[in-house]
A and B are shown apart, each in its own frame.
Chain A
Amino acid sequence: MEREARIDITSATDIVTARQKGRGLAIELGFEGSDLTVIATAISEIARNIIEHAERGQIVLAPVHQGSRRGLAIVAQDQGPGIPDVGQAMQYGFSSRKGLGVGLPGAKWLMDEFDIETKVGKGTVVTMKKWLH
Protein backbone atom coordinates (compact mmCIF):
# COMPACT_ATOMS: atom_id res chain seq x y z
CA MET A 1 0.00 0.00 0.00
CA GLU A 2 2.46 2.66 1.11
CA ARG A 3 5.03 3.19 -1.55
CA GLU A 4 7.51 5.69 -2.72
CA ALA A 5 6.44 8.53 -4.98
CA ARG A 6 8.80 10.35 -7.30
CA ILE A 7 7.78 13.69 -8.78
CA ASP A 8 9.78 15.55 -11.38
CA ILE A 9 9.78 19.26 -10.66
CA THR A 10 10.16 21.18 -13.89
CA SER A 11 7.47 23.87 -13.68
CA ALA A 12 5.42 25.67 -11.05
CA THR A 13 2.50 23.33 -11.81
CA ASP A 14 4.55 20.42 -10.44
CA ILE A 15 4.65 22.16 -7.05
CA VAL A 16 0.92 21.54 -6.68
CA THR A 17 1.30 17.92 -7.86
CA ALA A 18 4.10 17.29 -5.35
CA ARG A 19 2.22 18.64 -2.37
CA GLN A 20 -0.95 16.77 -3.31
CA LYS A 21 0.98 13.49 -3.64
CA GLY A 22 2.68 14.24 -0.31
CA ARG A 23 -0.64 14.81 1.39
CA GLY A 24 -2.00 11.58 -0.12
CA LEU A 25 0.92 9.50 1.08
CA ALA A 26 0.81 11.15 4.52
CA ILE A 27 -2.86 10.16 4.86
CA GLU A 28 -1.98 6.56 3.92
CA LEU A 29 0.72 6.58 6.59
CA GLY A 30 -1.75 7.69 9.26
CA PHE A 31 -1.03 11.40 9.54
CA GLU A 32 -4.01 13.64 10.17
CA GLY A 33 -5.18 17.16 10.94
CA SER A 34 -2.67 19.96 10.93
CA ASP A 35 0.22 17.55 10.20
CA LEU A 36 -1.18 17.05 6.69
CA THR A 37 -1.23 20.78 6.03
CA VAL A 38 2.21 21.23 7.55
CA ILE A 39 3.68 18.46 5.36
CA ALA A 40 2.02 19.78 2.19
CA THR A 41 3.22 23.32 2.95
CA ALA A 42 6.81 22.19 3.57
CA ILE A 43 6.79 20.29 0.25
CA SER A 44 5.47 23.40 -1.47
CA GLU A 45 8.32 25.52 -0.11
CA ILE A 46 11.14 23.15 -1.08
CA ALA A 47 9.61 22.41 -4.49
CA ARG A 48 9.46 26.12 -5.19
CA ASN A 49 13.04 26.40 -4.05
CA ILE A 50 14.01 23.92 -6.80
CA ILE A 51 12.15 25.92 -9.47
CA GLU A 52 13.60 29.26 -8.37
CA HIS A 53 17.20 28.21 -7.92
CA ALA A 54 17.82 25.09 -10.02
CA GLU A 55 14.95 25.26 -12.55
CA ARG A 56 14.47 21.51 -12.35
CA GLY A 57 14.83 18.67 -9.92
CA GLN A 58 12.99 15.86 -8.24
CA ILE A 59 11.06 15.21 -5.06
CA VAL A 60 10.94 11.72 -3.60
CA LEU A 61 8.39 10.87 -0.94
CA ALA A 62 8.80 7.66 1.04
CA PRO A 63 7.71 6.02 4.28
CA VAL A 64 10.49 5.77 6.90
CA HIS A 65 10.95 3.62 9.98
CA GLN A 66 13.35 4.06 12.86
CA GLY A 67 12.86 1.59 15.68
CA SER A 68 9.20 1.81 16.55
CA ARG A 69 8.83 5.22 14.96
CA ARG A 70 7.18 5.59 11.60
CA GLY A 71 7.03 8.65 9.44
CA LEU A 72 7.37 10.29 6.09
CA ALA A 73 10.62 11.28 4.40
CA ILE A 74 10.76 13.97 1.75
CA VAL A 75 13.88 14.28 -0.35
CA ALA A 76 14.29 17.19 -2.74
CA GLN A 77 17.23 16.98 -5.10
CA ASP A 78 18.51 19.08 -7.95
CA GLN A 79 21.62 19.44 -10.07
CA GLY A 80 21.43 23.22 -9.89
CA PRO A 81 24.10 25.76 -8.97
CA GLY A 82 24.25 24.70 -5.32
CA ILE A 83 24.28 27.11 -2.37
CA PRO A 84 27.58 28.91 -1.67
CA ASP A 85 26.61 29.93 1.88
CA VAL A 86 24.21 27.48 3.51
CA GLY A 87 24.21 29.36 6.80
CA GLN A 88 22.99 32.45 5.04
CA ALA A 89 20.41 30.52 3.00
CA MET A 90 18.99 29.09 6.22
CA GLN A 91 18.51 32.55 7.72
CA TYR A 92 14.90 33.54 7.82
CA GLY A 93 14.19 36.42 5.46
CA PHE A 94 17.37 36.01 3.45
CA SER A 95 16.71 35.56 -0.25
CA SER A 96 19.31 35.59 -2.99
CA ARG A 97 16.64 36.29 -5.59
CA LYS A 98 12.94 36.96 -5.51
CA GLY A 99 10.87 35.39 -2.81
CA LEU A 100 10.47 36.01 0.87
CA GLY A 101 13.49 34.00 1.93
CA VAL A 102 11.07 31.75 3.77
CA GLY A 103 11.53 28.52 1.80
CA LEU A 104 14.34 26.58 3.44
CA PRO A 105 14.18 27.89 7.01
CA GLY A 106 10.36 27.72 6.87
CA ALA A 107 10.41 24.09 5.77
CA LYS A 108 12.86 23.32 8.58
CA TRP A 109 10.50 24.79 11.17
CA LEU A 110 7.57 22.81 9.81
CA MET A 111 9.28 19.41 9.86
CA ASP A 112 10.80 17.29 12.67
CA GLU A 113 14.09 16.70 10.92
CA PHE A 114 15.84 18.70 8.26
CA ASP A 115 19.15 18.16 6.56
CA ILE A 116 20.75 19.94 3.63
CA GLU A 117 23.73 18.90 1.53
CA THR A 118 24.91 21.21 -1.18
CA LYS A 119 27.90 21.60 -3.43
CA VAL A 120 28.51 24.62 -5.62
CA GLY A 121 28.18 23.62 -9.26
CA LYS A 122 26.82 20.17 -8.37
CA GLY A 123 23.44 20.66 -6.75
CA THR A 124 21.50 20.42 -3.54
CA VAL A 125 19.78 17.63 -1.63
CA VAL A 126 17.33 18.47 1.13
CA THR A 127 16.07 15.63 3.32
CA MET A 128 13.19 16.27 5.71
CA LYS A 129 11.23 13.94 7.97
CA LYS A 130 8.00 14.09 9.88
CA TRP A 131 7.29 11.44 12.51
CA LEU A 132 3.91 10.09 13.49
CA HIS A 133 3.14 10.94 17.11
Chain B
Amino acid sequence: MHVPVLKQGDYLIASVQAALTDADLLQLRDDLADRVGQFRSRGVIIDVTVLDVIDSFATRTLRAVAHMLKLRGAETVIVGIQPDVAFAMVQLGLTLEGVGTALDLEEGLAYLDRLAKRNRNHGTRSTN
Protein backbone atom coordinates (compact mmCIF):
# COMPACT_ATOMS: atom_id res chain seq x y z
CA MET B 1 0.00 0.00 0.00
CA HIS B 2 1.24 3.44 -0.99
CA VAL B 3 2.44 5.59 1.91
CA PRO B 4 1.13 9.17 1.86
CA VAL B 5 3.77 11.84 2.49
CA LEU B 6 2.58 15.16 3.96
CA LYS B 7 4.50 18.42 4.10
CA GLN B 8 4.48 20.13 7.48
CA GLY B 9 6.62 23.27 7.44
CA ASP B 10 10.26 22.25 7.10
CA TYR B 11 9.37 18.62 7.67
CA LEU B 12 7.82 15.71 5.80
CA ILE B 13 5.60 13.20 7.52
CA ALA B 14 5.23 9.75 6.00
CA SER B 15 2.39 7.99 7.70
CA VAL B 16 2.30 4.25 7.09
CA GLN B 17 -1.35 3.17 6.80
CA ALA B 18 -1.17 -0.61 6.39
CA ALA B 19 1.22 -3.54 6.06
CA LEU B 20 3.99 -2.78 3.56
CA THR B 21 5.32 -5.08 0.89
CA ASP B 22 8.98 -4.90 -0.08
CA ALA B 23 7.97 -2.87 -3.14
CA ASP B 24 6.02 -0.40 -0.98
CA LEU B 25 9.07 0.13 1.21
CA LEU B 26 11.32 0.79 -1.77
CA GLN B 27 8.70 3.16 -3.21
CA LEU B 28 8.62 5.05 0.08
CA ARG B 29 12.41 5.36 -0.02
CA ASP B 30 12.32 6.82 -3.54
CA ASP B 31 9.35 9.12 -2.77
CA LEU B 32 11.09 10.57 0.27
CA ALA B 33 14.37 11.12 -1.56
CA ASP B 34 12.45 13.06 -4.24
CA ARG B 35 10.25 15.05 -1.88
CA VAL B 36 13.12 16.16 0.35
CA GLY B 37 14.57 17.84 -2.73
CA GLN B 38 11.26 19.17 -3.99
CA PHE B 39 10.25 20.77 -0.65
CA ARG B 40 13.78 21.43 0.64
CA SER B 41 12.80 19.59 3.82
CA ARG B 42 15.11 19.54 6.84
CA GLY B 43 13.51 16.61 8.58
CA VAL B 44 11.43 13.52 7.88
CA ILE B 45 9.18 11.59 10.23
CA ILE B 46 8.23 8.03 9.32
CA ASP B 47 5.30 6.89 11.42
CA VAL B 48 5.21 3.08 11.66
CA THR B 49 2.59 2.84 14.43
CA VAL B 50 0.36 0.49 12.40
CA LEU B 51 3.12 -1.96 11.46
CA ASP B 52 2.78 -5.29 13.28
CA VAL B 53 5.99 -6.65 11.76
CA ILE B 54 9.33 -4.96 11.15
CA ASP B 55 11.52 -7.71 9.76
CA SER B 56 15.12 -7.67 8.55
CA PHE B 57 14.22 -6.26 5.14
CA ALA B 58 12.10 -3.46 6.58
CA THR B 59 14.84 -2.62 9.09
CA ARG B 60 17.51 -2.52 6.42
CA THR B 61 15.33 -0.35 4.18
CA LEU B 62 14.43 2.10 6.94
CA ARG B 63 18.11 2.40 7.82
CA ALA B 64 18.98 2.99 4.17
CA VAL B 65 16.25 5.64 3.87
CA ALA B 66 17.57 7.51 6.90
CA HIS B 67 21.16 7.44 5.66
CA MET B 68 20.13 8.47 2.13
CA LEU B 69 18.07 11.40 3.40
CA LYS B 70 20.94 12.46 5.63
CA LEU B 71 23.07 12.73 2.48
CA ARG B 72 20.31 14.92 1.04
CA GLY B 73 20.53 17.17 4.11
CA ALA B 74 17.52 15.94 6.05
CA GLU B 75 17.29 14.20 9.42
CA THR B 76 15.01 11.19 9.78
CA VAL B 77 13.16 9.97 12.82
CA ILE B 78 11.17 6.74 12.97
CA VAL B 79 8.21 6.96 15.33
CA GLY B 80 5.63 4.57 16.72
CA ILE B 81 7.48 1.23 16.88
CA GLN B 82 5.10 -0.87 18.99
CA PRO B 83 6.37 -2.70 22.11
CA ASP B 84 5.78 -6.17 20.60
CA VAL B 85 7.51 -5.16 17.40
CA ALA B 86 10.47 -3.78 19.36
CA PHE B 87 10.60 -7.07 21.27
CA ALA B 88 10.69 -9.17 18.08
CA MET B 89 13.32 -6.87 16.54
CA VAL B 90 15.58 -7.28 19.55
CA GLN B 91 15.08 -11.07 19.42
CA LEU B 92 16.15 -10.96 15.78
CA GLY B 93 19.18 -8.85 16.63
CA LEU B 94 17.94 -5.97 14.47
CA THR B 95 18.91 -2.42 15.30
CA LEU B 96 18.26 0.96 13.74
CA GLU B 97 21.75 2.12 14.56
CA GLY B 98 22.42 5.69 13.51
CA VAL B 99 18.72 6.38 12.96
CA GLY B 100 16.65 8.63 15.21
CA THR B 101 13.65 7.06 16.90
CA ALA B 102 10.91 8.53 19.05
CA LEU B 103 7.83 7.30 20.84
CA ASP B 104 5.20 8.98 18.69
CA LEU B 105 4.57 11.79 16.22
CA GLU B 106 4.68 14.48 18.89
CA GLU B 107 8.01 13.27 20.24
CA GLY B 108 9.28 12.93 16.68
CA LEU B 109 8.52 16.57 15.93
CA ALA B 110 10.19 17.63 19.19
CA TYR B 111 13.25 15.54 18.24
CA LEU B 112 13.56 17.26 14.85
CA ASP B 113 13.02 20.71 16.43
CA ARG B 114 15.84 20.02 18.89
CA LEU B 115 18.17 18.97 16.08
CA ALA B 116 17.23 22.02 14.00
CA LYS B 117 17.90 24.33 16.93
CA ARG B 118 21.24 22.72 17.62
CA ASN B 119 22.21 23.01 13.97
CA ARG B 120 21.21 26.69 13.87
CA ASN B 121 23.34 27.38 16.92
CA HIS B 122 26.28 25.74 15.22
CA GLY B 123 25.56 27.66 12.05
CA THR B 124 25.50 24.51 9.96
CA ARG B 125 22.73 22.55 8.40
CA SER B 126 23.92 19.19 9.48
CA THR B 127 25.73 17.79 12.50
CA ASN B 128 26.75 14.41 13.93
Residue of B whose beta carbon sits closest to that of A109: B91
- Interface size of B in residues (CB-CB distance below 8 Å): 24
Residues of chain B in range 58-90 having any CB-CB distance to chain A below 8 Å: 59-60, 82-85, 87-89
Q: Chain A contact residues (Cβ within 8 angstroms of B): what range?
A: 20 to 34
Q: Are B84 and A37 in contact (CB under 8 A)?
A: yes
Q: Can you name the residue of chain A whose Cβ is closest to the Cβ of B23?
A: A12
B19–A44 touching, CB < 8 Å: no
B57 — which chain A residues lie within 8 A by C-beta?
A: 44, 48, 99
Q: Quick one: CB contact mask for A29-54 with B, threshold 8 Å, 1 for yes?
A: 00001101110110011001000000
Q: Which residues of B have CB within 8 Å of A116?
A: none
A residues in contact with B22, CB < 8 Å: 12, 15
The stretch of B29-37, B48-56, B118-126 in contact with A is B48-56
Q: Are A40 and B53 in contact (CB under 8 A)?
A: yes
Q: What are 13 contact pairs spanning A and B, CB under 8 A?
A: A12-B21, A16-B19, A16-B21, A34-B88, A36-B52, A36-B84, A37-B85, A40-B52, A41-B53, A99-B57, A100-B56, A106-B94, A109-B91
Q: Which residues of A contact B (CB under 8 A)?
A: 12-13, 15-16, 19-20, 23, 33-34, 36-38, 40-41, 44-45, 48, 92, 99-100, 102-103, 106, 109-110
Beyond the given A41-B54, A44-B57, could you list 13 further A-B residue pairs with CB under 8 A, ordered by the A residue number? A13-B23, A15-B22, A38-B91, A44-B53, A44-B55, A48-B55, A99-B60, A100-B56, A100-B59, A102-B94, A106-B91, A106-B92, A106-B94
